[in-house]
Amino acid sequence: MTPYNQTAERLVVLACSATKLAHAAPAIELYRGVMYSTYRANVRAETAPAVMILSARHGFIRPDTVIEPYEQRMTDARAEALLEEIASAMPAAWPAGARTILLAGGKNYRRVMRAALECQAERGIGPAGASVAETSGSLGYQRQQLSAFLRGA
């Protein structure tokens, strides 16, 4: 089982991936893209961050949410639809104690992730002044950024 800790002071918000298992599984296990491979290769149980996943189909989900494989991309239109329902789409179990946050995904994903953090701040959820970073650049560079975050660098 891939480790995560929903009460950790660090939070990584991961975009879903096109590559998935062929059967239903917890989201953290279902997604098999390179960012998830990077997560699995670098996360340590004793320092695991909280994790939320932004699914193009399901919106924000916890890593233990069991879902079926699907095919849906995060298009501009889908990002807009998620933004319109952001307040109602936020799971009640969003990790509220995170002080250091990494948003990991493409531009449409990160746009929705930023809006989610703003929504949580408006609700008074999460500590004021949390440090928020975003992955950027090539996929290889984004993998390096995720690895560094997981190592606490």
Residue 38 or 87, more confident: 38
Model confidence at 126: pLDDT above 80: no
Task: Express each pLDDT in 6-21 by its tens digit.
Answer: 888 899 999 999 999 9
H-state helical runs in the chain: 27-30, 34-42, 76-84, 86-89, 107-122, 139-151
- Provide the token pair at 33: 């893209």
Q: H or E segment at 67? A: strand 66-67
Domains of the chain: 10-151 (3.40.50)
Band the pLDDT of 110: cuts 50, 70, 90: very high
